[in-house]
């Protein structure tokens, strides 16, 4: 049972003289002689009858100092019309003037009468609201005080209206909370829908991009396979070094095919192009040995088209509107640049359009990194590329292409600055 009693408040009324103190008037016969308070059973009977108990020591009638009978009738009427059971207890001043006292006085009464609100007025100075089942008695008391305008009877009579006002306010708050909750649910659902659709679109775009990249790398794998098959060589008639380089070239081709079949993410493309770069190096070494020429130093691929194999020289070149830079090139591409022609640039498929691989966007960094290795990429792609592409490369945990022996020496082939002013995949900024 919950009792939330309130602190007393002085009430100034004209009938204060009628509510005499227990010490100034001898206790009536039906009062508890040990406390001066009326007996519990007497209060219970009156409250069950009409909802109002007036202590016998309080004069009610038409006398000058009496509580008007009409006021008591007004309380009875308020109790009868209240939606929530309301009971009124009027006792002389000096009795139950503290929360502890009211609690002790009213608890057995409420046990007998039951749930509801109980307004207790002790003299003209102490007003309490308590209940065995309602927790908001403090708030109800405050509203009743404001409605009663300092009149004790009006304050008591205002308890039902105060309870209704509080309930309306709580209902409004609950409605507002539900509305806010509905908005929150809508926002969360909307956010979830947006995230879901964004991820779905990203997944579709990624799948399409991966398909484009796999098609591109398939062309490179086929190109190396054709190169290997065109080289007619009798392994039994060549020396051990030539046989070793040719066997490594074939192994690299087989490894590239196998890796291509397992590619599930765009960043895995670098493993395929790394194997292709390794195979092209060994093909160049095989041809040199068969022709009786020195085995060429391992260099980075032709920048314009890695399908061309290892580069043989550096050449000053600039894309349209760009700044001239020295790039690595095979002999054919180098000759084209020097004579004012167009090098054979590697084109890739991007959204149904063929464009140079170095203008294909950050996702194609994986393709380039497999061919050129991390050290070369660090030298080639800085500036704007560092922000637009290298983050993607770092995210794939790139530490250099697999199978690229000596990749760490590639940077020296670019004449110091190398590709230092490249802007980034998606457009160079030379």
Q: Give the tens place of pLDDT for each residue, 25-37.
A: 343 335 555 566 8
Whose tokens are 């507002």? That residue is 176
Residue 21 has pLDDT above 60, yes or no: no
12 pLDDT higher than 60: no
Tokens of 259: 């890796």
Query: Which whole number is the average pLDDT over 194-211?
Result: 86
Q: How far apart are CA 53 and CA 90, in angstroms?
A: 6
Binning pLDDT at 50, 70 and 90, where does residue 377 land?
A: low
- Other beta carbons within 10 Å of 227: 17
Number of C-beta neighbours around residue 235 at 10 A: 9
> Does the pLDDT at position 85 exceed 90?
yes
pLDDT at 129: 92
If pLDDT is split at 50, 70 and 90, which confidence band does 169 have?
confident
SS3 letters for 156-188?
HHCHHHHHHHHHHHHHHHHHHHHHHHHHHHHHH
Contact 231, 246 (CB under 8 A): yes
Any idea which of 5-9, 42-46, 323-327 has the lowest mean pLDDT?
5-9
Whether 403 contacts 378, CB under 8 Å: no
Considering 98-102, 160-164, 415-419, the range whose residues carry the highest mean pLDDT is 160-164
Q: Residues 6 or more apart from 405 whose CB is under 8 A from it?
A: 278, 281, 298
**Would the pLDDT of 398 be above 80?**
no
What is the distance between the alpha carbons of residues 285 and 245, in angstroms, rounded to a whole number? 7
Q: What pLDDT is recorded for position 224?
A: 93
44-76 burial string, b = 16+ CB within 10 Å, else e?
Answer: bebbeebbbbbbebbbbeeeeebbbeebbebbe
For the segment 73-97, the average pLDDT, to the nearest whole number, is: 89
- Give the predicted TM-score (pTM) of the model: 0.48
| Percent of the chain clearing pLDDT 90 (strictly above) | 37
- Tell me the mean pLDDT in the region 155-176: 86
Once rounded to an integer, what is the mean pLDDT over residues 82-105?
85
Q: What is the pLDDT of residue 35?
A: 60
């Amino acid at each position: 049972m919950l009792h939330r009693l309130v602190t007393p408040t002085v009430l100034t009324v004209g009938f204060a003289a009628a509510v005499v103190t227990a010490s100034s008037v001898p206790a009536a016969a039906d009062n508890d002689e040990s406390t001066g308070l009326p007996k519990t059973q007497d209060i219970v009977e009156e409250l069950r009858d009409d909802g109002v108990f007036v202590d016998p020591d309080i004069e009610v009638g038409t006398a000058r100092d009496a509580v008007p009978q009409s006021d008591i009738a007004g309380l009875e009427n308020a109790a009868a019309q209240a939606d929530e059971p309301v009971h009124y207890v009027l006792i002389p001043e000096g009795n139950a003037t503290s929360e502890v006292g009211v609690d002790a006085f009213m608890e057995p009464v409420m046990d007998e009468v039951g749930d509801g609100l109980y307004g207790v007025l002790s003299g003209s100075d102490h007003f309490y609201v308590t209940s065995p089942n309602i927790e908001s008695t403090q708030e109800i008391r405050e509203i009743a005080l404001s409605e009663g305008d300092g009149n004790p009877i009006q304050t008591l009579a205002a308890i039902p209206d105060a309870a209704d006002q509080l309930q309306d306010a709580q209902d409004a708050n609950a409605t507002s909370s539900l509305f806010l909750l509905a908005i929150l649910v809508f926002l969360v659902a909307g956010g979830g829908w947006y995230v879901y659709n964004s991820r779905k679109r990203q997944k579709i775009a990624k799948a399409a991009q991966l398909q484009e990249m796999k098609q591109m790398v398939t062309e490179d794998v086929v190109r190396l396979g054709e190169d290997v098959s065109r080289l007619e060589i009798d392994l039994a008639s060549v020396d051990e070094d030539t046989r070793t380089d040719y066997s490594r070239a074939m192994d690299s081709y087989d490894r590239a095919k196998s890796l291509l079949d397992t590619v599930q993410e765009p960043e895995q493309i670098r493993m395929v192009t790394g194997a292709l770069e390794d195979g092209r190096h060994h093909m160049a070494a095989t041809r040199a040995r068969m022709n009786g020429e020195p085995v060429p130093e391992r260099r980075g691929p032709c920048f314009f088209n890695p399908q061309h194999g290892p580069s043989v020289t550096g050449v000053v070149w600039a894309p349209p509107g760009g700044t001239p830079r020295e790039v690595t090139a095979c002999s054919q591409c180098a000759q084209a640049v020097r004579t004012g022609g167009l090098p054979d640039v590697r084109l890739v498929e991007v959204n149904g359009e063929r464009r140079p691989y170095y203008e294909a966007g950050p996702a194609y960094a994986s393709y380039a990194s497999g061919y050129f290795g991390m050290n070369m990429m660090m030298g080639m792609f800085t500036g704007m590329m560092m922000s637009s592409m290298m983050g993607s490369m770092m995210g794939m945990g790139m530490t250099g292409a697999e199978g690229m022996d000596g990749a760490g020496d590639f940077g020296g082939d670019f004449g110091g600055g190398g590709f230092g002013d490249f802007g980034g995949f998606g457009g160079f900024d030379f």
